[in-house]
Amino acid sequence: MTITIFHNPDCGTSRNTLAMIRQSGEEPIVIEYLNEPPTRARLVALIGAIGIGARGLLREKGTPYAELDLGNAKWTDAELIDFMLAHPILINRPIVETPKGTRLCRPSEEVLKILPNPNIGPFTKENGEVVNPANVSGT
């Protein structure tokens, strides 16, 4: 079974998501998308699979979002995708693909909704928060 995570190792949410995947017994394909950005076709496919527009995948914090005026409604999805391809840091993360679906896993426990084995037992995030999979709706 193939699981892929578009990962940023500097992001706590992304690290927690990766750890949950591994705790489920799976070793995912890890794509550090800042070093290996997706192609246009792959990014468009991810946005479609998640079921959000390009704007829904934009990250504001720690990015050139404001300086590029990306909050302006004038930008089309195609133009926003151009910006994400030029500045991969604008792509929100982590994105996880599994045979059960594709999700933007914010918060990290969203990954449990698409893992083949979501019964990972109690999981402690880096910030000390304990996630109990039995309490995550949709798992």
Active site members: 11
Q: Torsion-angle region of residue 105: left (phi > 0), alpha (psi -120 to 50) or beta? A: beta
Return the amino acid letter for 88: P
Separation CA 106–CA 80 (nearest Å): 20
- Least Cα distance to 46 among 7, 8, 101, 109 occurs for 101
